[in-house]
Amino acid sequence: MATPSANHAPDVSTPGLAPHAAAAVAPMGLSPNSSAYDAQGLPMHSPVPHSAAHATASTPTSTNPSAARSVKRPRPVKSCTECRKRKLKCDRNLPCAQCQKSHRNCRYSAEHDSSALSDASDAEPSDAQRPAKRNCAPVGVQGNNAGSANLGPPFSSARNGDINGASPLQELASRVDRLENHVLIKSPSAAEMPRLPLSPATIRGLTVKHGALQTRFFGQSSVRVLMNLFDEAKEFLATHADSAEFRDLMSALSRLHKLILDSYKESLTPMTVYVESTTPVRGRMQHVLPKREVCDKLLGSYIHTTETIYRIIHMPTFMAQYEMYWDGKLQGDTFLPQLLAICATGSRFEAKSKGLRKSIGTEFDGVHIPTACELVKSWLHSLKGKQLIDFTTLQTEMLLLQAMRMTAARPQVLWTQLGAILRMAMTMGMHRDPSEFEPQIPVFSAEMRRRMWFSILELDLHVSLVCSLPCSIREGDFTCKPPSNLDDKELFPEMVELPPSRPIDHGTDNQIQCYAAMTVGIRLKVVHMLNRIDSIRDYNEVLELGAKLELISEDIGYLFPRNNSLSDSEQSKMWRCRVVLDMHIRRPLLALYRPFALGSVDAPAQITRAYLTSSMVILQYLDELDPMLAHYQSVSDMYHLVLKRDMLQASLSLCYYIRAGLQSNAGPYSNLKLAALSPEPFDDARSYRAETPALWSPVRLIKTVDKSMDLLMRNVGGGDVKDIVALSVVLASVQTTAHEQKLHEIRRMLTVVLETCMRATNTNPELVHPPLPHPPPPLSINNNHPYLQAQVPGQQPPHYMLHPNAMAAAPDEETMIWDLEGLDPSWNLYWDQIMPLWSS
């Protein structure tokens, strides 16, 4: 059935249709009950023509024709005002032809205006015979109007100025709605578009124990989930790990893991003499706190490492309280828990014991972190009523959470506790900008609230990425503005006006947090997208967010440039600022690109390149520092502590690209020869060209992963052995395709892991190695290995290729069976959860 044109009024006197049925015939996209237009495409509130009104309203009571002809009523003028004034014939278009020729402003009088009425007799033609006024395009505008004929007129005529009718804005909105419906009818629905090909096994995992009573979720950043990318490594751990060739070696690694983990658990046990004492908690905290000289170092370490992007305290105010405390003049109980939590955090970076040695006294160089955390918790649990919503209480909660992070607590535990802290902050109204409550909140307190709020957001975002869980808040749920780029000394409680914020490239005490706060919105979008990644149907949104993060990361290099003319201390400070900001930007970037770069075969080149580049940058942070610096070892330990999880993820990602580079038909290096994989010896990720097919050669990637493994093994602790074992098996399995050679390399690397971790932890070999009946011969070197073939003449291969003590342990079928059920529960939990996935 043809649809009436927008430029011509349809004939409503359709035969066979009742009046109400004819009115129900509406243009496409317009319902019969629309308030803006009727079935004829005319405004619903336009006056009914005189003849139609006379036909329906008159009754057969009067039969005198002369009386009927004597009744004259004013009739609305159909011509425009300009044609009526000049006595011209008007075609009743808008604009009409006469006005277009004369370039006049064509308009029609309002219907209720008296000038729009004229005297007329019933002898004039009835309105039913008069064509309706039409809307036409201006002169010179031509085209096919068939697609828009069903959309109705863009606006009602100027003569339809009835105040009871729809306004032009309402008519425009109605027309836009009909246009959207018209387009959606011809466009495929979102449900019909296929999802991106992502494997759930490389995105998430769930461990189920005791009949589904105990479950735990693992996201894409977990080592056990990343292991699903390497089928050969999974096969080894599922089948060959318990073979006669590897049973003794894996048993020794299991014993080493148990010894290290038991020692670590013992160091995390709080000292009961302080935790379970009945004396006031304030006295116990004072007894645990070291002497002032030690506290000064621990406080300085905390300020330089943590109080950069997480701005929790105001340094001038805190230092004034610090002096009063040691002078014995400080009143109140809120300062001591904060000082103890700060010293506990600083002990992890500054003290030789790393805050895990159970000893106190004037000669002790730190604070036992677990004991300090328990004492601060006891103090917080003693608070009641309005003390719970005090700003100092919120500061203490955040300082305690920072100290707990130093002992490698489970990120899921931190995630739940941080959610409670964030909600407590929201109950205090910190998610709203303080300017909304002026003058009740002073200027100084307002700025401190902004700093605290964005510190909570920053930590919540970081922990959520580690756990692959949603953030507790999304963009748009808060109105608090970012803090100003000002020094702490510019802020004081008595201030009445906030100074203007410095430019972002101006160094201040709050420069890092200020810049990070400017990017919180984009990173929150990334976390939200990761939790709905299964519903993503194209790469547009992913590429858009990723491009923004890449630009932000590039800007960091301009904020903190590399300047060799600076002193060692200034270069170290600049490096620390650059790394802190860069890793907070690259973490969401890696999490955004990881499912596509490692799990999709048709990922765009931008995603693959950016993911590989960011992985290399994280593993090469330490390369910017001179190893001969006096403080290089402490910086290296801090780097390991903060970025251990990121190092594991990046190393496994590089293994994925190593395998792709060595296999001619795999990954983004398909159809490329090995010699073409390294067109230039790039040492800096920022120097690659966009047209270069590869950023680094497999040789360079292997060396980078090997160097990262050295750092992980030197600082091994807790449950790190299982992750290092998994990484070593993956790295050995991706370097060659021959099965026997692959097993040979795995055995070599596992032996290196065992011996290096034993030396790093000073473990007695008799507790790990069983007595061997006959010393096995050393392993021979395979000169046909592709890595050795690619070596530069005169360059030595890495230690795991030429280790002199690599040996094949002689199995003892009776006593040396690798029985996982008799080992530490955490080790069994790891392998019991992974091996069913590998064997499936």
Same domain (yes/no): 424, 389: no
Same domain (yes/no): 383, 340: yes
Same domain (yes/no): 331, 475: no
Question: Which residue range forms the structural domain that includes residue 450?
Answer: 412-507
Same domain (yes/no): 350, 478: no
What sign does the CA torsion over 456, 462, 467, 469 have? Answer: positive
Same domain (yes/no): 297, 377: yes
Q: Where does 152-204 have alpha helices with state H?
A: 168-186
Mean pLDDT, the chain cut into blocks of 10 residues (840 residues total): 41 40 38 38 41 41 46 70 84 84 78 50 43 45 40 41 59 80 57 68 85 88 89 86 85 92 90 88 92 93 92 96 93 92 92 80 78 95 93 97 86 92 96 93 96 96 93 92 96 94 92 95 94 85 93 90 78 86 94 90 88 94 86 86 92 93 57 38 40 68 94 90 94 88 91 92 82 48 42 38 31 31 37 38
Q: Report the C-alpha gap between 562 and 577 in whole angstroms.
A: 11
Q: Assess contact for 255 and 261: CB atoms under 8 A.
A: no
Same domain (yes/no): 820, 694: yes
Query: Tokens at residue 180, please?
Result: 């959207």
Same domain (yes/no): 673, 822: yes
Backbone angles phi, psi at 51, to 5 degrees: -65, -40
Angle at 209 between CA 204 and CA 211, to 5 degrees: 115
DSSP state at residue 192: G
Count of CB atoms situated within 10 Å of the CB of 359? 11
Q: Report the C-alpha gap between 586 and 733 in whole angstroms.
A: 28
Query: Which of these three, 388, 406, 424, is where a domain ends?
Result: 406
What sign does the CA torsion over 605, 226, 840, 811 have? Answer: positive
Q: What is the DSSP string of 682-732?
A: --SGGG--TT-S-SS-HHHHHHHHHHHHHHHHHT--TTHHHHHHHHHHHHH
User: Tell me, what's the pLDDT at 504?
Assistant: 92
Q: Where does 428-519 have alpha helices with state H?
A: 443-467, 511-518
Same domain (yes/no): 468, 500: yes
Q: Assess contact for 787 and 801: CB atoms under 8 A.
A: yes
Specify which residues 216 forms β-bridges with: 207
Query: Which of these three, 378, 406, 434, is where a domain ends?
Result: 406
Same domain (yes/no): 726, 811: yes
Angle at 266 between CA 263 and CA 272, to 5 degrees: 165
Query: Which of these three, 406, 439, 470, is where a domain ends?
Result: 406
Residue with tokens 């300062």: 335
Q: Report the C-alpha gap between 692 and 612 in whole angstroms.
A: 14
Q: Assess contact for 749 and 728: CB atoms under 8 A.
A: yes
Same domain (yes/no): 769, 697: yes
Q: Where does 80-167 have alpha helices with state H?
A: 81-86, 97-102
User: Tell me, what's the pLDDT at 166?
Assistant: 57
What is the count of structural domains for the chain? 3
Q: Report the C-alpha gap between 342 and 321 in whole angstroms.
A: 14
